[in-house]
Amino acid sequence: MKGGGEHESDVREKILETARCIFLKEGYKGTTINSIARAAGISPSTIYLHFNGKKDLFENLDISEEEALQDAYNANRTSILQTALILFGEHGYDGVSMDMLARESGYSKATLYQYFKDKEELYSAVMQETPFYFNFLSIQPEIDGYDLEAAIKKIGLAYLAVFDTPERIAFTRAIIRDSKRHPEVSSIYHKNGIGYVARCVETVLKRYTGNLQEGVDTYLASKTYVGSLFGFAIQYKIVVGVEPQYGDEEIVDTLTKIFLHGILH
């Protein structure tokens, strides 16, 4: 009997753990007893042996309905952005409409407008939420403990890694293609691409102002470094048919040494 009780306790804990994940992913309204049962690998009737229903189950979790709804909102927004990234990469700015995005994402057009007021705002969001942004957030705590050269290299490698996914490669090609017809696209890309990475580099440089040559424009110097990295990304990752002569580590190592040699005492 005691063993059976422990077994039932394990089942209950499994239900709660699975339910928490589903509620946070889908929100309260989007979650059903059936979806929890499927994810847990048990029957809905087993859940009803432990809880009176969805409301009872939710109340046994230490999360608010607002939190569940917010997490579902974020998950839906991320899904829309991922679809937009692929479509903009395949069809360019002019080739994508909100109707197309609604069709491909599985959301209604009205739902899309709850997240983004128009296509330009959506495009800007795709640019702003680049992999580098998230890469930088993850490496920032490490960088704070690194010396100058190691920190700059870490940023350089994180930036080049952005161009390792087919979606980002296609998106960058589309930006280059669309920039002549849509100068605003270039502006968005510059601000949230090279411009953002350069600001990250400049933040590190400013911790070493006493080591820099007099009169160095730290932002311009940082853009020079990032621009060089982008040049290699274009050569080896964006342009088709060019066999890379050097790996990311070699490129970043060399450019960092040249860059720091030019601005340090």
9-55 confidence digits (pLDDT tens): 888 988 998 888 887 766 676 688 988 988 888 998 999 999 998 88
**Distance (Å, rounded) from C-alpha 87 to C-alpha 75?**
19
Q: Which residue has the tokens 């029957």?
A: 43
Q: Which residue has the tokens 């608010």?
A: 64
**Distance (Å, rounded) from C-alpha 122 to C-alpha 213?**
42
Predicted pLDDT of residue 25: 67
Predicted pLDDT of residue 72: 61
> Residue 89's closest CA among 163, 4, 145, 12?
163
Question: For the chain, first and last CA: distance in Å?
Answer: 77
Predicted pLDDT of residue 125: 85
**Distance (Å, rounded) from C-alpha 170 to C-alpha 90?**
7
Neighbours of 25 (CB within 10 A): 16
Helix orientation angle between 119-128 and 65-91, rounded to the nearest 10 degrees: 100
Q: Which residue has the tokens 């974020």?
A: 74
Helix orientation angle between 119-128 and 183-192, rounded to the nearest 10 degrees: 30
Q: Which two tokens stand for residue 192?
A: 């949230």
In one letter, which amino acid is 232?
F
Cβ-Cβ contacts under 8 Å for 143 (sequence gap 6 or more): 151, 154, 155, 204
Question: Over pLDDT 70: what percentage of the chain?
Answer: 91
Rg (Cα) of the chain, in Å, rounded?
A: 24
167-214 confidence digits (pLDDT tens): 888 888 898 888 888 888 888 888 888 888 999 999 999 999 999 999
> Residue 82's closest CA among 22, 122, 27?
122
73-97 confidence digits (pLDDT tens): 677 888 898 899 899 999 999 999 9
Neighbours of 242 (CB within 10 A): 11
> Residue 231's closest CA among 170, 156, 174, 178?
156
Alpha-helical runs (H) found in 108-180 = 109-115, 119-128, 131-143, 148-161, 166-178
229-260 confidence digits (pLDDT tens): 999 999 999 998 888 899 999 999 999 999 99
Q: pTM of the predicted model, to two decimals?
A: 0.67
